[in-house]
């Protein structure tokens, strides 16, 4: 049985401002660093065998908090980056709604390819799903913690589980520094064991931010 823990990064100033991050390399803020430090001992108690992180600072620095507790190195994988949000990156969601009303409406409705240079959800799911599988292969039969981003996490999980977009839209986003637990065995394949687990109940911001 292989256990995969998919951990969303801690809070950033852009999260707090509802500003679209996408693949912009925004660092953790003080709250995000504290969230990572608080969650690290809980995840360390799961006895991870490997840690893999997106190379964007907010994810890599979140993973570093767990590495400091476990002594494990952090491997980085650029495939674990957040969805690319094209011309929206750096804009507040209110600005997006004003400047790109048609694309924004399609995105809100769940269109997998809403325009504005935004990465297609199918491509995102395949990218993250492949990275998740490779991470899990680092410790087959053990536990791997993967630190990534909200939108990427959901689509990658959906890809592994074989869920379509309609099903994924009914699954809530991960809150900052919360995680999803998947397990894999030769009989059942990938299956979901827990979702949005964390220390403090908090609203999950939209995947774009």
Report the pLDDT value the prediction gives residue 127, as an integer from 0 to 100.
98
pTM: 0.94
Question: Can you tell me the distance from the alpha carbon of 75 to that of 161, in angstroms, rounded to the nearest whole number?
Answer: 24
State percent of the chain over pLDDT 90.
93
Question: Can you tell me the distance from the alpha carbon of 206 to that of 191, in angstroms, rounded to the nearest whole number?
Answer: 24
Q: Pick out the chain residues at pLDDT < 50.
A: 201, 203-204
Report the pLDDT value the prediction gives residue 165, as an integer from 0 to 100.
87
Asked whether residue 103 is domain-assigned, the answer is no
SS3 letters across 81-97: CCCCEHHHCCCEHHHHH
Asked whether residue 69 is domain-assigned, the answer is yes
Asked whether residue 89 is domain-assigned, the answer is no
List residues with catalytic annotation: 9, 82
User: Where residue 45 sits, what CATH number does that domain have?
Assistant: 3.40.50.1240
Asked whether residue 113 is domain-assigned, the answer is no
Beta strands 74-76 and 50-53, pairing class:
parallel
Count: domains in the chain: 1
Annotated binding site: 8-15, 58
Annotated binding site for substrate: 8-15, 58
Question: Can you tell me the distance from the alpha carbon of 207 to that of 83, in angstroms, rounded to the nearest whole number?
Answer: 9
Both structure tokens of 176:
């900052």
Residue-wise pLDDT tens digits, 33-54: 999 999 999 999 999 999 999 9
According to DSSP, the residues that pair with 144 across neighbouring strands are 4, 50
Asked whether residue 192 is domain-assigned, the answer is no
Asked whether residue 156 is domain-assigned, the answer is yes
Report the pLDDT value the prediction gives residue 159, as an integer from 0 to 100.
97
Instruction: Residue 163: count other Cβ atoms within 10 Å of its Cβ.
Output: 18
Asked whether residue 61 is domain-assigned, the answer is yes
Contact 36, 62 (CB under 8 A): yes
Report the pLDDT value the prediction gives residue 203, as an integer from 0 to 100.
47
Contact 129, 159 (CB under 8 A): yes
Both structure tokens of 201:
């109940």
Asked whether residue 64 is domain-assigned, the answer is yes
- Length of the chain, please? 209
> What is the per-residue burial (b if ≥16 Cβ within 10 Å, else e) of 83-104?
bbbbebbebebeebeeebeebb
Which domain covers residue 15, as residue numbers?
A: 2-84+119-160+173-184
């Amino acid at each position: 049985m292989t256990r995969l823990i998919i951990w969303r990064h801690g809070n950033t100033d852009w999260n707090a401002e509802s500003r679209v991050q996408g693949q912009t390399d925004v660092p953790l803020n003080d709250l995000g660093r504290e969230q990572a430090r608080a969650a690290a001992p809980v995840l360390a108690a799961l006895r991870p065998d490997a840690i893999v992180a997106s190379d964007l600072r907010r994810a890599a620095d979140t993973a570093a908090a767990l590495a400091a507790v476990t002594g494990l190195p952090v491997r980085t994988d650029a495939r674990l980056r957040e969805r690319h949000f094209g011309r929206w990156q750096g804009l507040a969601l209110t600005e997006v709604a004003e400047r790109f009303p048609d694309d924004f409406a399609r995105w809100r409705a769940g269109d997998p390819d809403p325009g504005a240079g935004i990465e297609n959800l199918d491509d995102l799911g395949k990218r993250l799903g492949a990275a998740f599988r490779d991470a899990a292969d680092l410790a087959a039969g053990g536990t791997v913690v993967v630190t990534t981003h909200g939108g990427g996490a959901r689509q990658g999980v959906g890809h592994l589980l074989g869920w379509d977009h309609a099903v994924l839209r009914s699954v809530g986003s991960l809150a900052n520094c919360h995680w999803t637990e998947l397990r894999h065995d030769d009989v059942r394949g990938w299956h979901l064991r827990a979702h949005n687990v964390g220390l403090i109940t908090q609203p999950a911001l939209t995947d774009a931010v």
